[in-house]
Amino acid sequence: MRFYSLISSLILSVFLLFISGSESVKTLQYLPARKGGSLTVPCLYAEKYISNRKYWCKGGTWSSCRIVGYTNSSNTGISVTDYPSQNMFTVDLKNLQDSDSGWYWCAVEIGDYGTQDDGYYVYLTVSSDPAVWVENSTVIGQEGGRVSVQGYYSSGYKNEEKMWCRFKTWSCYTVGKTKTQNSAVMISDDENRGSFRVEMIGLQKSDAGWYWFSAGGVGVTVHLTVTERPTTTAAAVTTVPATQKTTTSSSTLARAIETHQHHTETPPATTKLTTNASSAATKNKRNGNGNSMLIWVLLAVAWVLLGLLFLLFVIIICTTRKHRGNPTEASERISDTAVPMVMEDSQPSGLVYSNVAYKKKPSSEPASTNDVVYSTVATAAKNKHVPSAVEYGEVIYSSVVLK
C-alpha cells in the first residue's frame, strides 16, 4: 500500500513538473486566503485557446479532478468569467472555508477525442491567519496620478524575496524603485513590522489589469483600475469640412423651423437676451440719475459756500470802514483850536478877552497845583449876528496857556 502511494506521488510530481513548464496556461502556484473571505484567481491562456471552453477543476490529478465551474456559469460561491480580449479568465471564490483548501486547476477544454485538456495547477490554502495578505485586493487610480498597495506577511517570510508582478506580461519587480515602460514602481519592505508597500507613480491606462505580490513564492492577487483624467472645461475648436457644414446647417435649419412651428411664443434665447438688455438699460438709467443728482447737490453746496464767503467779505469791509472813520472825527475835534468869539450888541465897542488852552490826554498822574488856567468868556445873546471881521480900531487881547 505504501508502495502504491509512493508511486502515485511520484507520478503526480512528474506530471505536475511536466505541465508546469507549459506556456499555454499560467497562474500562481500557491495562493493563501482568509477564512470566510473571498479570492479571485486569474488564469492566462494562449491565443489559440480564445474560443475554447474554460473551467475550474478541483483535484490533484486529471483522473480525480472534479469540475466545479465552467466559464460564463456560476455555482454556489464559484464564478468563472472569460476575457478573450485579455487572453484571461478569472475564478471568483467566495465565503472560503477550511474544506476549500487543496489542489485546483485552471483548465482549457480541447474537445478533440483522445486529446488531453490543457491546464495549470494551483494550491489554495484557507486559514484564519494567511501567510500573505493585502488590505485591499482592488485599487483604483487616476490617469497621471499614483496608487499604493499595502500588504503584510508572516514572520516566516521575513527573509524571503519580495516581488511585485504583473499577469499580462508575467514580469516582476523587486524591492526598490524600478522605471517601467509606463509608470515608476517603488516597493518598500519593513521587515520589523512584516509589511510591504507598493507605489505606482504616473499611471497610464495601459497599467490597468491584474497584479500579484509575492513573498517566497506565495502570492496574493490585486486588481488595478485606472480611470481617465478629468477633461478641461475649455471649448475645443473643431474644423468641419464644407460638406459637413452644409449638412449641419441644413439640419440646424430644419430643427429651427420645427421648433418655430411648435412654439409660437418668443424663443427663450431671445427673451433672455431682451431681458438682459432691458436690465442693462434700466441699470444704466439708474446710474445716470444718480450721477445727475450728485452733480446738483455739489453745485448747491458750492453756491452756498460762495454766498457765505461773499457775506463775510461785506461784513469785513463795513467793519474796517467804521473803525477808520472814528479816529478821523476825533482828531478833527481835538485839532480844532478855533474858539468862537462873540460880542454883545449892547457893547459894540467893548473889549473881549479870551484864553485858549490845548487839551492833553488825561493822565494817571494828578494835576500840578501850580498850573492855573485863566479864561474870560463873553456870552452872546441868542440869534445875534457875529461879525465875521473885527472893525478897525478894536483891540483883542488873548492869552494862550499850553498844558
Is 375 within the bounds of a domain?
Answer: no
Q: Report yes or no on 226 lying in a domain.
A: yes
On whether residue 167 sits in a domain, the answer given is: yes
Q: Does 157 share its domain with 122?
A: no
Same domain, 29 and 86: yes
* Residue where one domain finishes, among candidates 69, 104, 128: 128
Query: Do residues 98 and 136 both lie within one domain?
Result: no
Q: Tell me what the pLDDT averaged over the chain comes to.
A: 73
Residue 12: pLDDT band (50, 70, 90) is very low
- Residues 162 and 106 grouped into a single domain: no
Residue 316 falls within a domain, yes or no?
Answer: no
Percent of the chain with pLDDT over 90: 42
Alpha-carbon span 25 to 44, nearest angstrom: 5
Last residue of a domain, one of 71, 94, 128: 128
Percent of the chain whose predicted confidence (pLDDT) is above 70: 58
pLDDT at residue 222, rounded to an integer: 97
Tell me how far CA of residue 303 lies from CA of 299, 308, 313, 314, in angstroms.
6, 9, 15, 17
Confidence of residue 285 (pLDDT cuts 50, 70, 90): low
- Structure confidence by residue, pLDDT tens digits, 230-242: 876 544 444 444 4
Examine residue 198 and state whether it is found in any structural domain, yes or no.
yes
pLDDT at 311 over 50: yes
Reduce the secondary structure of 283-347 to three states and give it as a string. HHHHHHHHHHHHHHHHHHHHHHHHHHHHHHHHHHHHHHHHHHHHHHHHHHHHHCCCCCCCCCCCC
What pLDDT, on the 0 to 100 scale, is given for residue 249?
Answer: 45
State how far the Cα of 304 lies from the Cα of 302, in Å rounded to an integer.
5
Residue 95 and residue 168 share a domain:
no
- pLDDT at position 33 over 70: yes
Query: Distance (Å, rounded) from C-alpha 344 to C-alpha 385?
Result: 9
The predicted model gives 147-176 an average pLDDT of 92
What's residue 140's pLDDT? 96
Model pLDDT, residue 367: 47
Q: Distance between CA 141 and CA 162 in Å, rounded? A: 23
Give me the number of domains the chain comprises. 2
**Where are the strands (E) in 143-273, listed by range?**
146-153, 162-166, 171-174, 176-179, 184-190, 195-201, 209-215, 218-227
Question: Are 109 and 74 within one domain?
Answer: yes
Q: Are residues 90 and 63 in the same domain?
A: yes
Residue with cell 497584479: 211
Q: What is the pLDDT of residue 80?
A: 95
Instruction: Clarify whether residues 156 and 106 are in a common domain.
Output: no
Within-domain flag for 343:
no
Instruction: CATH number of the domain at 161, please.
Output: 2.60.40.10
Q: Inform me whether the pLDDT recorded for 348 exceeds 50.
A: no
Q: What is the pLDDT of residues 82-114, one digit of tens each?
A: 999 999 999 999 999 999 999 999 999 998 777
Q: What confidence tier does 43 reach under pLDDT thresholds 50, 70, 90? A: very high
Same domain, 162 and 107: no
Please indicate, yes or no, whether residues 118 and 140 belong to a single structural domain of this protein. Answer: no
Query: Does a structural domain hold residue 162?
Result: yes
- Where does the pLDDT of residue 258 fall: very low under 50, low under 70, confident under 90, or very high at 90 and above? low
Same domain flag for 123 and 135:
no
The pLDDT of residue 324 is 64
Does residue 315 have a pLDDT over 60?
A: yes
pLDDT tens digit string along 351-402? 445 555 545 555 444 444 444 445 444 444 444 444 444 444 555 555 555 5
Return the CA Rg of the chain. 64
Q: Do 138 and 98 reside in the same domain of the chain?
A: no
Which of 230, 259, 287 is the last residue in one of the domains?
230
212 within some domain? yes
**Chain centre to alpha carbon of residue 11:** 70
Q: Domain span at residue 169?
A: 131-230
| Model pTM score | 0.53
